Structures are given as structure tokens and as C-alpha cells.
Structure 1
Amino acid sequence: MSPAQKLRDLLASPGLLVMPCCFDALSARLIEQAGFSLSFMSGFAVSAARLGAPDTGLISYGEMVDQARAICGAVSIPVLGDGDTGYGNAMNVKRTVRGYAQAGLACVMIEDQVAPKRCGHTRGKQVVPRDEAFTRVQAAVDARDEGAGVLIMARTDARQTHGFDEALTRARAFADLGADIVFLEAPESVEEMRTFCREVRAPTMANMVDHGRTPVLPPAELEAIGYKIAAYPLTLLSVAAAAMREALASLRAGRHPDPRMSFAALQEIVGFPEYYAEEERYAQPPGKG
């Protein structure tokens, strides 16, 4: 079954999909091993992990595709991917969708920010006019229907720049254009979240950014409001960064950090047991032994 079909089946199933976001192959493996049914390759997290740089449009299409290929090669669960603004005009959007699909992603998110874009919960955002936003989504949907097969998530950041009504208008139009999932970034109240889910005729995603603009709600409440997916874009990155800082502080102070995980457990996470099994299988030529 293709990654896109796996995601379609999940979207058709009952209940909220809790989606921790990944930034590399290791974090994706941990998400799958923890029992989650899907993940999202976060642009913020990949920019931080790969470049050590902020999510302000600095990371390129090629770098994101390369990261997606490594992530998708490490797991069997469907992974959604941040396609930013599509990296250019309508033809660039179509190339982005096709390239992300070839890398193994199940869904590509395309947004309506002005390039270079930035994290949706930070300052300085701008969005393109409606017509340009609609053209981007149409191009992405066309690429899907012309053979890419990958699902399309359409995102609007207009809430912060033009107000909730404009964001809702764009979100409704994205669904009408054929987006498989619609994402209104950074609603600022539970009522706005509820209105968005009620008014948009497509599966919707909530972005749970700690200390961001959107209320962080329990999964049960998000499901009751009407969301289909709850994304946690920075949870793993934040926890990992905090743990590494603590370990480095211990080393700097002359103490040995608490490893928190045995060497054996770490080997298991990255796949040494499976590697050893394969190694033993091919230890002798075929037909021998």
C-alpha cells in the first residue's frame, strides 16, 4: 500500500489522529516505535536540526527533499511534509509536489505566505493575495491528479495578517479547490478553532505549539471541536534540545551525564538486531550450510 493510501485510510477512520512531528530519520523511527500511526516532517524542526538556523525560508527545496527521503526510508508509517510556499510559481509548486511524492511522503503541505516564509507563530509574516494563494493550491492539486498521487494539505497564515474572516475564506476555498486536508494556522481562540472546523468541508489539522498563539488543548477536546489531526511540531525537538543542554552542562562541570538510556536500548532503536539477523542470513553463500 502506498504512503498516500495509508494516509487516506487513516483520514477515513474514526477519531483524532495524534501526530508528533519529526525532523530526521531517528526521530521518525522513535515516533513509529512508540505506536503512532503517522508523522509530519516539520520545516521548523528540520531547519533547526539540519542547518542550526531559524525557520525563515533559509532551507532549500533540495535539502528538504533529501531529508524527506531519509525519513521515509526509515519508517513504514505515512509521513506528511512541509512544502512551504512551493518554492516559486505554479510550476515550482508542481515540481515540489512531485519531488516530495518521489521521496516517499504521503502528503505535501503548501501555504500562502510570501517567500521567504517563516514559522507561523513568529513575527514578520506576510501572505500573498488570494488569487496567488488559490493558484498555488490548484497547482498542487493538479500535480496530485496528474500522477503524483500524494495528498495535498493547504495552509493559510492569513489569520495573523488579515484577520480570522479572511483566513476562513481562504480555508473554505482551499477545500473547494480539492485540498485533502486544510490547515488554518494560529487561530487565537477556541471559538475560532470551532468555527474553522464547522465551516470547512475537509479534514482539518490543529497545530499544538507550546507558548504559541493557539490554545493548546487536550486531544479529546480537539476531537470534540472537529479536528481530524493534532500536530505537535516542536515537542520532540524541544525535549531533545533540553536533554542535550543538560548533558553538556554536566560534562562542562566535570560530571558524567545520566545517559537515560542503555547502550543496548540505543542499539535496538537504530536497528542493530535486525542488521545482525540479516548479516547472519547472508553469512554463507546460497545453497550452503
Structure 2
Amino acid sequence: MAAEKPVTTPQAFPGASPGARLRALLESGELLVTPSCGDALTARLIGQAGFRAAFMSGFCVSAQRIGAPDAGLISYAEMAGAVRDVCAATALPVLCDGDTGYGNALNVKRTVKGYAQAGAAAVMIEDQLAPKRCGHTKGKLVVDRTEAVERISAAVDARAEIGSDILIIARTDARHGHGLDEALWRAEAFHKAGAEILFVEAPKSEAEMRRLCAELPGWKMANLVEGGETPIPSQATLSEMGYGVAAWPLTLMATAMRAMTDALAAMRADRAPEGLMGFAELRERVGFEAYYLDEARYAGARD
């Protein structure tokens, strides 16, 4: 059987910057669904599937790049390298995880500038105390209100200093140890400091999700972790609630890891793994056919 042709997503708003393209998508009022990636290949697949944007997850990058948990072990340089690789592999605007900014307010500024220069459409800065950790695992702590807001102010200043239009996603993990009221106070303060997208991590019910959408200004982002603390409503319900962005941070990596562990078990038992992608489709999806066309084009120019 011939390989299924990957979906080709035309680049929306050609010639516009990643930030401008993302802003236009958000201003459409339609829920922006962003599957998450940790590497360039996954970013390519998200585009081929017809999605309009992608999210680069720190959990995925830490797992796929250094084989370590999302617990503050990965460095700014490693994350910035992942941003460059992911953004170079897709025409989609990519929302990128900037963790805590990797230090004080000056480190936050460096992170935002570096991500903007690497092609990110948005950068997420959070208020966790370093070393940070996945928002749906135990042991999270947050910095005080003043430092939390300073981080977002520094991110906004960094954007202005380089004349960038990268969007700032401001994340608070205060719901875990301080309650929803504190998380809402911080998110509103982040908006006043200049953040466009607000991300209250780990609300525990649909009622909490509705409340934060009703009370907070600007665009809101939902983080949907299978097996995590937050319910996973339908996309239609998320849109009706008032969310502008819905990220599935672990779905693709969890799917791939299950498939790989199953294939390894089969190989260990001297069985052929099941469910493999055909070689022709695999070549197409990683870009061999486009490479061959370019190769022939330039070879012809020499003749």
C-alpha cells in the first residue's frame, strides 16, 4: 500500500513574524490546540497533522534531550538549543517553555531574548522556586509575589529591548500550596505587568477552570495532562469556558514511549514489532522526498 501523504499545512500570514502569526490566531477567537513536542521531528509531525501551532514542553525536552525528569535539571543552553531546532523544523508558531527563566530577573531577560532570537512565538515564564518541577508532581514551591511579578516585568522589558513581538505566557503554580485565590491574584498581576497569555497550573475541577476564565483578563491557557490533577474537558467545552489555548504537554511523548517499550519487548522476545510505520511513509515524513527534489534541482543546474 502506498504511504499516506502527510498533511501539508500552509503557513498562515506569510512573511509575518512568529509572534505576529500567533497573535493573529489568538485574535480569531477560536481555541488554539497545541500538541506538545520536545524535538524537531515531533514538531514536523504536528505540522503535518494540520495543527496551527505547537507547544515545546520542558518536560518533553528534558526527557528527550538529556533523559532526565522535569525537575530543574536541564539548563538554559540546552533548552535554547531545543527551541532553535524545533522552530527551524516547522513553519508553525511555537509556544516555548522557559521554566523559571533559569535564575534571577536578568536571567529571565536573557532567556526571553534568546528564545525570541531562536524563533519562538511565545515564551512561558513561571513563578516556581528553583529547582522547578513538573506542575502535576509533588514538591512544588513558589517564590513570593514580588519576585514572581518581577520575573514577568523582566520578560516584558527584554522583549522591548530587542524590538521583538514574542508573546509572554505567565504561569503560576500557586494553586498547589496557596489556593486558587492566590493563583488568581498572581495571574492578574502578571497581566498588569504585560503578559498576554495567563496560565494557572493545575486547577482541580471544571468549576475552578470556569472561575479563572471568568475572572482573569486576556487569553488563558489550559494544560491538559492525562492522569494529572486537572480535568480534561472537550475542546468545545474549553472554548466555551473561555480558554484561548489548550496544550497537551505529554500526549505524544507518552504515546511514543508506549509504542517503543512495546516494540522493545517484542524484539527481546524474538518477535517482530507490530504497528510499524511503513518505510516509504517514514521517509516522506522526515523529509527525504523533498530532499531528493532539491538534490535533483541543483544537480540539474550543474549539467
Q: Deviations over 1:118-165 (max 9, x none)?
A: 000000000000000000000001111222331100000000011110
Q: Which residue of 2 aligns with 1:78?
A: 93
Q: What aligned pairs does 1:1-289 form with structure 2 within 5 A after superposition?
A: 1-146=16-161, 147-285=163-301, 288=303
Alpha-carbon distance in 1 for matches of 2:282, 2:32: 27
Alpha-carbon distance in 1 for matches of 2:176, 2:59: 18
* C-alpha contact 1:182 1:205 (8 A) present in aligned 2: yes
Per the TM alignment, residue 260 of structure 1 is displaced from its structure 2 partner at its CA by: 2.4
Question: Partner of 2:69: helix, strand, or coil?
Answer: coil
Alpha-carbon distance in 2 for matches of 1:183, 1:258: 39
Question: Partner of 1:18: helix, strand, or coil?
Answer: strand
Per the TM alignment, residue 180 of structure 1 is displaced from its structure 2 partner at its CA by: 1.1
RMSD: 0.9
Alpha-carbon distance in 1 for matches of 2:204, 2:150: 27
Question: Partner of 1:240: helix, strand, or coil?
Answer: helix
Question: Partner of 2:130: helix, strand, or coil?
Answer: coil
Q: Deviations over 1:235-286 (max 9, x none)?
A: 0000000000000010011101125211000000011111001000111345
* C-alpha contact 1:97 1:148 (8 A) present in aligned 2: no
Q: Deviations over 1:1-49 (max 9, x none)?
A: 1111110111111211111001100100000000000011100011111
Question: Partner of 2:300: helix, strand, or coil?
Answer: coil
Question: Partner of 2:123: helix, strand, or coil?
Answer: strand
User: What is the identity, as a one-letter code, of the residue corresponding to 2:172?
Assistant: T
Alpha-carbon distance in 2 for matches of 1:247, 1:37: 31
Q: Please, which runs of 5 or more residues in structure 2 have no aligned partner?
A: 1-15
Alpha-carbon distance in 2 for matches of 1:276, 1:40: 30
Question: Partner of 1:231: helix, strand, or coil?
Answer: strand
TM-score, length-scaled by structure 1: 0.98
Alpha-carbon distance in 1 for matches of 2:106, 2:194: 18
Q: Deviations over 1:37-68 (max 9, x none)?
A: 00111000111111111100000000001111
4+ aligned runs moved over 2 Å, structure 1: none
Alpha-carbon distance in 2 for matches of 1:174, 1:134: 6
User: What is the identity, as a one-letter code, of the residue corresponding to 2:23?
Assistant: R
Q: Deviations over 1:94-137 (max 9, x none)?
A: 00000001111100000000011000000000000000000000
Q: Which residue of 1 aligns with 2:4?
A: none
Question: Partner of 2:138: helix, strand, or coil?
Answer: coil
Question: Partner of 1:140: helix, strand, or coil?
Answer: helix
Question: Partner of 1:176: helix, strand, or coil?
Answer: helix
Alpha-carbon distance in 2 for matches of 1:242, 1:226: 33
TM-score, length-scaled by structure 2: 0.93
Alpha-carbon distance in 2 for matches of 1:194, 1:136: 27
Alpha-carbon distance in 1 for matches of 2:20, 2:106: 25
User: What is the identity, as a one-letter code, of the residue corresponding to 1:283?
Assistant: A
Question: Partner of 1:148: helix, strand, or coil?
Answer: coil
User: What is the identity, as a one-letter code, of the residue corresponding to 2:256?
Assistant: A
Q: Please, which runs of 5 or more residues in structure 1 have no aligned partner?
A: none
The number of equivalent residue pairs is 287
